[in-house]
Chains A and B, each alone.
Chain A
Amino acid sequence: MTSQTIRVGRVLRAGTRGFAIGCAVMQPDIPAFGSFVRAEGLAPGSAIYGLIYDVSMEDDPLVRQIVSADPPEEVVRDQRRNRQIPIEVSVLAVGCAHDEDIRHCLPAQPPVTLDWLYQCTDEEVQAFTSAGNTYAFDYFRLVLDAREVPVDELLAASLRTAAASRAESERERFLIEAGRALVRLLSSDPVRLEGLLRRLSRL
């Protein structure tokens, strides 16, 4: 569980459906597939929420040379810390907020280039996946509709993150409610649904 605001990276390019950020180094669990992230919106008090669905590292000519030269350990560590090309993190937009009002919908505007992207705290994840005394899973539809995204894995990973943000006594109830929301959306494909639910049952 995290309560500190952690910067993941800066926005490289952005669109309404999602955006890509760049970060220099990877830390344990940051950036992580299925994590909830938040970027500031242009309007004061507004925010854009997303889910990390891909983390990729591009090579560059120097790295190619080093790979073929069997470099010493110090050089490898230096290359990892001071990369010429940033680690690229793909984010799927799944919600936006104005003040405290969180909605599971696409943002009206994408974040601006070089804006910071933050890892959501546990409190923020809980707020995003709650609605009053119940849970909010409307973002499932945005994930299911996304193209070129490992949808099922992303849903399972995001629910793992959201469950982990809660007290242990509440996790099972949360996952069961999430499963019920998925049943509504995936009833036409019971085989896929069962596979997804099995992933949740093992969380």
Chain B
Amino acid sequence: MNERTPEQELDAFFGPRPAEPDSRPRQKLGIVVGGSLSQGLDVKLDRATVIEGLAVGRYVVAHGRTGRRFFSIVTDVQLDALNPLIEKAPPETMHGTDDDDFLARVYRGTAVYGRIHVSPMLMLDAGDDEPKPVKTIPSHFRPVYTASEEEVGLIFGREEEPGYFYVGEPLEMEGVHVALDLHRFVERSAGVFGKTGTGKSFLTRMLLAGLVRENVAVNLVFDMHNEYGWKSQDESKQQVKGLSQLFPGRVVVFTLDEQSSRRRGSKVDGVIRIGYEQIEPEDVDSLANLMALSDVQVGALYFLRRRLGQGWVARLLDEHDPLAELESALERGTIHGGTLGAIQRKLGMFRRFDFLHPRAAEDPVRQLLDHLDGGINVVLEFGRYGNSLEAYLLVANYLTRRIHEHYVRRKEAAQGDVGSSGAGGQEPRPLVITIEEAHKFLDPAIARHTIFGTIARELRKYNVTLLIVDQRPSGIDPEIMSQIGTRVTCLLDDESDVRAVFAGISGANTLREVLARLDSRQQALMMGHAVPMPVVVKTRTYGPALYAELGLAAEGKNGAEATLARGRSLLRGDEGEVEI
């Protein structure tokens, strides 16, 4: 029998206990002994500093002679010796493991010592409270300390401030919270990268939860694997809550596959059906690679749309339709019979997609926009179609293209209002579109033709940005990658993926080691637009503690979850945050 101790029972009810803030005094690590602004600084570690306690990615602060503080990140850890001969012929008694050996105690920190390489990123003048990009370096022999909680807060902002969301703890700084500036996060497209099994989905769900809680943007999530809307399972088969459960009333779940959603017990708010007559050649064009459509065949799609009208797809799929309008074109050779046949065969794939109907009762775009315009976040579950890349690409492109058009119109109208009356127009609420397997949308061959390439390139011009989740960033068009503002990167092995992630990031070379040494779970390197300097975080656990925190903020503090969260908070002694 699997009995729990009273302590475990309490933990199960209250959720994991929050870690104690890092109250240790600031520790001097060593002194600056060399380096440059471009290559980073060399720091000789003090004898008392245990090199094994320092990991790449850790934050350190060098104190300059002028009172300036240089916020830096550890990019390499080395062992060094005063004389290389010592490395070649170490004293015999030091071959063992006896650390108390006299010779070992004498040599350690003098003849042999630890050394770290740090990259200065930001500097803060004495008396100033806004860090600036680093433009110089500290003098020789200036002390280097571990970063304090106050310094981390100074760099990243405080989670208590509106628009900030606690995403994790810096490396080896347990209890210190790194807050992400969500306003900046949505200002430009962002990416979550990492190889399979590194926790991309959990990280993305956590970021989305932050965006919903802080209400900095409205989200449209193309949920390929049904992980974000309603409950799903983590790798240990534990159930985790979806966004709709955490924010009832503020997140709605739509599905393409009603049966799958019902089987999984997912509470959906609507079913998306797309009519054949709503499909345009551009929607099929975006699938050209997957459907193996040649350039000629893609050109023919537009021709067929013109000739056959709005119902062109339905008619091409109708085996009994003689397609009389095409006879003259076939005779003249405007379109080749073989091309037409190939298109019909390839479009035949649409028959397998039950969400495609000859006629749809409702306009799916309108369904989504009604919610998005009202500030309600939308998760679109793909059900079994998540396994079909063609379905995912078709639907994501179809919906996004039209929603983007709607945003362009609204934005332009808002600008027009400003121009004509000066009274200020109704700007569309910022929209973040989350897509998975992004390299399939943003492949160099098709990125220029898909709506996602357009959105990534135009930045926030029309208040629409992307949150792309991908395991193969090298497959994404480099031009698009260079436009990704914030990059949250879990462990990546492949050299080309690592190179792609760092494209367009200054000082990227020094961060490669940091990325290569990330743990395979719950660690991510965050860099780019939303963070003042790169940071390795142990990402916060997506679990009861997060639910409780979000429950307090959710939907006017109603519902069983919120009540439970309030109770937990009260019992923990956080009365100040709760209104009873």
**Interface of A with B (CB < 8 Å)?**
172, 175-176, 179-180, 182-184, 187-188, 190-191, 193-194, 197-198, 200-201
Q: State which of B82, B102, B105 has its C-beta within 8 Å of the C-beta of A187.
A: B82
Please determine whether B102 and A190 come into contact, CB atoms closer than 8 angstroms. Answer: no
The 9 tightest CB contacts between A and B, nearest first, are A179-B106, A201-B102, A183-B110, A187-B82, A180-B110, A183-B111, A187-B83, A190-B85, A194-B91
Residues on A with beta carbons closer than 8 Å to the beta carbon of B85: 190
B302 at the interface (CB under 8 A from A): no
In the complex, A138→B360 CA distance in Å? 93
Please determine whether B106 and A198 come into contact, CB atoms closer than 8 angstroms. Answer: no
With A188-B83, A190-B111 known to touch, is A183 a contact of B89 (CB < 8 Å)? no
With A180-B110, A184-B110 known to touch, is A190 a contact of B83 (CB < 8 Å)? yes
Residues on B with beta carbons closer than 8 Å to the beta carbon of A184: 110
Most buried by B among A179, A187, A190: A190
Please determine whether B102 and A200 come into contact, CB atoms closer than 8 angstroms. Answer: yes
Please determine whether A190 and B89 come into contact, CB atoms closer than 8 angstroms. Answer: yes
B542 at the interface (CB under 8 A from A): no
Residues on A with beta carbons closer than 8 Å to the beta carbon of B110: 180, 183-184
Q: Mark B147-183, 1 if CB is under 8 A from A, else 0.
A: 0000000000000000000000000000000000000
Name the distance in Å between B428's Cβ and chain A's nearest Cβ.
68
Residues on B with beta carbons closer than 8 Å to the beta carbon of A187: 82-83, 111
In the complex, A153→B321 CA distance in Å? 109
Residues on B with beta carbons closer than 8 Å to the beta carbon of A191: 89
Residues on B with beta carbons closer than 8 Å to the beta carbon of A180: 106, 109-110
Name the distance in Å between A16's Cβ and chain B's nearest Cβ.
32
What are 20 A-B contacts with C-beta separation under 8 Å?
Answer: A176-B106, A179-B102, A179-B103, A179-B106, A180-B106, A180-B109, A183-B107, A183-B110, A183-B111, A187-B82, A187-B83, A190-B89, A190-B111, A191-B89, A194-B103, A197-B91, A197-B102, A198-B103, A201-B102, A201-B103
Please determine whether B86 and A190 come into contact, CB atoms closer than 8 angstroms. Answer: yes
In the complex, A183→B579 CA distance in Å? 65
Closest to A178 in B: B106
Name the distance in Å between A198's Cβ and chain B's nearest Cβ.
7
In the complex, A177→B82 CA distance in Å? 17
In the complex, A197→B91 CA distance in Å? 10
Please determine whether B103 and A197 come into contact, CB atoms closer than 8 angstroms. Answer: yes
In the complex, A201→B103 CA distance in Å? 7
Closest to B85 in A: A190
Closest to B107 in A: A183
Name the distance in Å between B100's Cβ and chain A's nearest Cβ.
10
Residues on A with beta carbons closer than 8 Å to the beta carbon of B91: 194, 197
Residues on B with beta carbons closer than 8 Å to the beta carbon of A201: 102-103
Residues on A with beta carbons closer than 8 Å to the beta carbon of B107: 183
Residues on B with beta carbons closer than 8 Å to the beta carbon of A176: 102, 105-106
Residues on A with beta carbons closer than 8 Å to the beta carbon of B89: 190-191
Closest to A182 in B: B106
Residues on A with beta carbons closer than 8 Å to the beta carbon of B105: 176, 179
In the complex, A201→B110 CA distance in Å? 17
In the complex, A54→B107 CA distance in Å? 31
Q: Which of B74-96 contact A (CB under 8 A)?
A: 82-83, 85-86, 89, 91
In the complex, A176→B111 CA distance in Å? 13
Closest to B82 in A: A187
In the complex, A187→B89 CA distance in Å? 13
Most buried by B among A172, A176, A183: A183
Please determine whether A183 and B103 come into contact, CB atoms closer than 8 angstroms. Answer: no
Residues on A with beta carbons closer than 8 Å to the beta carbon of B109: 180
Extra 14 A-B pairs, beta carbons < 8 Å, given A197-B106, A201-B102: A176-B105, A176-B106, A179-B105, A180-B106, A180-B109, A180-B110, A183-B110, A187-B111, A190-B89, A191-B89, A194-B91, A197-B102, A198-B103, A201-B103
Most buried by A among B89, B102, B106: B106
In the complex, A165→B85 CA distance in Å? 35
Residues on B with beta carbons closer than 8 Å to the beta carbon of A200: 102
Name the distance in Å between A191's Cβ and chain B's nearest Cβ.
8
In the complex, A195→B103 CA distance in Å? 10
In the complex, A183→B91 CA distance in Å? 13
Name the distance in Å between A177's Cβ and chain B's nearest Cβ.
9
Closest to A179 in B: B106
Residues on A with beta carbons closer than 8 Å to the beta carbon of B102: 172, 175-176, 179, 197, 200-201
Name the distance in Å between B537's Cβ and chain A's nearest Cβ.
39
Q: Which of B511-553 contact A (CB under 8 A)?
A: none
Closest to A172 in B: B102
Closest to A202 in B: B102
Name the distance in Å between B572's Cβ and chain A's nearest Cβ.
46
In the complex, A201→B105 CA distance in Å? 11
In the complex, A98→B276 CA distance in Å? 104
In the complex, A94→B342 CA distance in Å? 100
Closest to A173 in B: B105
Name the distance in Å between B87's Cβ and chain A's nearest Cβ.
10
Name the distance in Å between A195's Cβ and chain B's nearest Cβ.
10
In the complex, A187→B111 CA distance in Å? 7
Q: Mark B103-138, 1 if CB is under 8 A from A, else 0.
A: 101110111000000000000000000000000000
Name the distance in Å between A171's Cβ and chain B's nearest Cβ.
12
Residues on B with beta carbons closer than 8 Å to the beta carbon of A182: 106
In the complex, A78→B401 CA distance in Å? 119
In the complex, A172→B102 CA distance in Å? 9
Residues on A with beta carbons closer than 8 Å to the beta carbon of B83: 187-188, 190
In the complex, A76→B483 CA distance in Å? 101
Residues on A with beta carbons closer than 8 Å to the beta carbon of B106: 176, 179-180, 182-183, 197
In the complex, A176→B106 CA distance in Å? 6
Residues on B with beta carbons closer than 8 Å to the beta carbon of A197: 91, 102-103, 106
In the complex, A188→B86 CA distance in Å? 10
Name the distance in Å between A194's Cβ and chain B's nearest Cβ.
5
In the complex, A175→B103 CA distance in Å? 11
Name the distance in Å between A161's Cβ and chain B's nearest Cβ.
19
In the complex, A200→B106 CA distance in Å? 11
Name the distance in Å between A71's Cβ and chain B's nearest Cβ.
48
Most buried by B among A179, A180, A194: A194
In the complex, A184→B113 CA distance in Å? 13
Name the distance in Å between B201's Cβ and chain A's nearest Cβ.
53
Closest to B105 in A: A176
In the complex, A175→B85 CA distance in Å? 24
In the complex, A102→B83 CA distance in Å? 33
Residues on B with beta carbons closer than 8 Å to the beta carbon of A194: 91, 103
Closest to B106 in A: A179
Name the distance in Å between A201's Cβ and chain B's nearest Cβ.
4
Closest to B102 in A: A201
